[in-house]
Copies of this chain bind each other. A is one copy, B any other.
Amino acid sequence: MTYCVGLRLDAGLVLLSDTRTNAGLDNVAVFRKMHCFDVAGERAIAILAAGNLSVTQTTIARLRHAIDGGDAERTPSILLAPSMLDVAEIIGDTLSSVWRDVSDKMAPAGQAPSATMLVAGQRKGGQLRLFLVYCEGNFIEATDDTPYLQIGERKYGKPILDRVVRPETTLEDGRKLVLISMDSTMRSNLSVGMPLDLAIIERDSYRFGVRERIEPGDPDFAALSEAWSRALRDGFAALP
């Protein structure tokens, strides 16, 4: 399983993913699910992936090939696309094309793959955008009413987001929010696990201000997790 979450705040984009993949509980591995692309000072784009790893890896590989000057007929480069909307469309088209290929291959075994991606970023002259792209190629976008999007195992970590995140939430608070949302998820679903990949794109910076891997045993993350557990227990004890 996977948990990825993105916040589209007034101050910027905050993105967090886990790294655990599994094909059965006895086949667990670490794979990066967050992929960062930038032209410093012009655009910064992050792609977070959930679902069938063969679908998401091949999609990312095709997008990278296009950036490196590959077959521009089939896949335009997301680093040359004129807007974040075009970026989301390129990624949607690529994901759905790979998904159909893999679906055809898996159909004889009676299996059907699934995959979703979060696409977040900003291009010079454009707005901060955060999309959720489905494997069929269509997508939705975060708005001020719902300034976050999640993919994968989203339920355990959703109540705290629903109660706290607002467009005016600061980047520092956004960072804490996604980490405790992830912490709740990892406590309840073993197939979501450390290390974590965190990225922050500050508004109108067009680069990754933070790109950090949080390893198992990270003291700051452990302290945050413990403080949040204590806050929940204390808050519960103080209920009327």
> A236–B164 contact, CB under 8 A?
yes
- Secondary structure type dominating chain A contacts: helix
Give the number of times this chain occurs in the complex, counting copies: 2
Please tell me if the beta carbons of A162 and B176 are within 8 angstroms of each other in the complex: no
A240 within 8 A of B: yes
Within 8 A of B (CB), among A120-161: 155-156, 158-160
* Least Cβ–Cβ distance between A33 and chain B, in angstroms: 20
- For residue A184, CB closer than 8 A to chain B, the reply is yes
Q: Which residues of B contact A236 (CB under 8 A)?
A: 160, 164, 173, 176-177, 180, 228, 231
Q: Does A227 make an interface contact (CB < 8 A)? A: yes
Query: Which A residues form the contact surface with B (CB < 8 A)?
Result: 155-156, 158-160, 162-164, 173, 176-177, 180, 184, 187-188, 223-224, 227-229, 231-236, 238-240
CB-based closest 10 A-B pairs: A231-B235, A155-B155, A159-B184, A235-B235, A163-B232, A227-B239, A164-B236, A155-B156, A158-B188, A176-B239
